[in-house]
Structure 1
Amino acid sequence: MNASQPAVAVPAEQVPEASHSYDYCDLAGQAPGHAALAEEVALAIAFNGISQAVMLVSPGDLEDFVVGFSIGSGIVQDASEIYDIRLSGCGAAWQAEVEIASRAFWALKDHRRQMAGTSGCGLCGVEAVEQALPELPVLPATSLPPLQWLAGLRDRISAFQPLGRHCGAVHAAVFMGSDGELLLGREDIGRHNGLDKLIGALAQQKIPATGGIAVVTSRCSLELIQKALRAGLGTLVSLSSPTGLAVQWARQHHLNLIHLPHHSAPRVYSPALEKRP
């Protein structure tokens, strides 16, 4: 995939539906019924012919997910290092063949070689910790969004959650523009996947993420902070509480982190409030 050649898309009729209706029986009265449930598929991702990961994802917006996963996981620095994406599969089994720049591929191979080389020497735990707690760039300081931009946000994002409204069991990530309007949203069964899809969609639609605001409906853990940092987002708003480590990392890396509780005012965890005398 590059500026002149978009990713290869799977024909719409081959993409699995996001949800299906399933029959059930009531445990107490055995009354039959049916409900719409969100679907998931296994997506195997290979970079330049080498398998990297198998992820369980919602079947929609798979190209966005692959781009966002590549950026959010640090495999590429930005979308310009992704030259092509080829999706194939059927039913619950799908594959993504991704062609990336040589620099990114050699860095990926070198990392995999280091991990394999330490598997029997007692250092694999150290490598795993370094992978979980990587060094990431500190962002330029970004102004906090005005309070009115967050007013009614829980209701406003419902327009970007068609699958969630239909059957539940999915998370959403939504991008807010510079005027407080919600511009773009993605859904997925995985909370990480939803943000990956949003980052990928922004990259593919050439909407700058740098300094922007993302809203996530899921619990805000460290992995979401890391993905936001790699994408260059300036502010992350979470509808659920962040973890302590997420707050620490957000403060250390100048990422604005805001929790939007159900029945109280938004809570700004990062930047930290200055101590008053």
Structure 2
Amino acid sequence: EIQTLMLQTRQHMSQTGKDLESVMHNILGLNGDDAAVIRSRLGNTLPEPTASTSGMSEITALQEQIAAMSMTTEYVHPHMQLASPMAESLQCPPFTSSGKSDEDIYEMGSSKVPLPAITPELLTSQFPDMPEADRQALEYIADPENFSHTLNADGTVISISKKRPKSRFRNNYTADTWTFISNLKYQPDEGTLPYFASHIAQYQYLLAAVSGGWVGEMPFVLIRENVINQTTLNNTEWLNGEELKTAFLNNTPNGKSTAKILQAFKLSAISVEKEYDDREVSFSVVVMPEY
């Protein structure tokens, strides 16, 4: 999330020529007074915006600025929904300022709890008709050589690929609501990864459900939080009701991913609502089990 924030800030300044205070107001959601205070604390050390997208010194300066902001303001940036991976040339370096690793920042928000054991028998009982390819995908995700998983007490699960650390998935699962917060599958050109986001959701669900004692219970609603994918936003603009549901699930990257998750859990979408909250856009999908 911090990497994406730095990239957005840098691109916005380059494209518009605005100073940091304006960018903070537009992207970070700070009001003018807050932005002015942070601006004064940071000083005028940010490089002048340029049309170039390759200046690593500018990225480094932004890392330092974002680190300073995290220490000098109580503002917490909302989680970002990453619907599609960025090109490698647009990826920022790991954020390690202030003595915190990228993983530390990604896992903030709730106390960790021990991971429950996910046995082959449990997988079979929960997904009895699973094709062999799907079973192998879940085994790949469960292998500690491929993924690290962190479970928080509030039902949030963070899964990070050890082979491609830019692939990371943070979502929250309770007995009645599943919230998909941040999902980035980094897909380089040299090969196809042996899993989909729906497989990640299946494994994360088991971790949260076994730990919480609600295995087998399905949610009433799935939420795609803070969607920033422009295709998704454009293809659902001004729609509601059945038109919105059809367009979201069939014609948007976030919706197609949601449809795969529904299929994996044998759920059907009843309705879709597009919700706006302080410049954030989220999609709530009311679901029911297939019969």
TM-score (norm 2): 0.28
Greater helix fraction, Structure 1 or Structure 2: 2
Greater strand fraction, Structure 1 or Structure 2: 1
TM-score (norm 1): 0.29
More relative contact order, 1 or 2 (CA 8 Å, 6+ apart): 1
